[in-house]
Structure 1
């Protein structure tokens, strides 16, 4: 089941295309360049608000997809 969420970028390394999004201070979701809704949208800054689809992968692991800046 996918849930649409809003979160804030905790950190993002543009060179490696990986980062972390904090959702309500409770869930931290790691992302990579394939998590983005639109190719080429890889510039995120700490504190930036983003929208994403969140799904569970089992045993508490979460996956982010369709990440897009708000």
Structure 2
């Protein structure tokens, strides 16, 4: 099983439902709203810290099983 990674949301377009996450020390990775694990409306905001897995898809690397790291757990 792959290790979960931590990164920061670079940008996320709520209307289009996708964006990019800057991985700590690595290339950015695409994120689709369907990969966000949360209740209600699934969205991310620029600067959010997230934990996720990375999978190789047809169009490149994509973040999956994305969870928001609560502010109180960010250090």
Fold shared, TM-score > 0.5 on shorter chain: yes
Q: Relative contact order (alpha carbons < 8 A, sep ≥ 6): 1 or 2 greater?
A: 1
Q: Which band: TM-score by shorter chain?
A: 0.7 to 0.9
Q: TM-score when scaled to structure 2?
A: 0.73
Partner residue in 2 for 1:27:
27
Would you identify which runs of 4 or more consecutive aligned residues in structure 1 move more than 3 Å? 38-41
**Rg (Cα) greater in structure:** 2
Do the aligned residues in 2 keep the contact of 1:3 with 1:55 (CA within 8 Å)?
no
Query: Counterpart of 2:34 in 1: which secondary structure?
Result: helix
Unaligned stretches of 5+ in structure 1?
Answer: none
**What's the C-alpha RMSD, in Å, of the aligned pairs?**
2.0
- The count of residues paired between Structure 1 and Structure 2 equals 68
Partner residue in 1 for 2:10:
10
Counterpart mapping for 1:34-45 below 5 A: 34-38=34-38, 40-45=40-45
**Greater percentage in strand:** 1
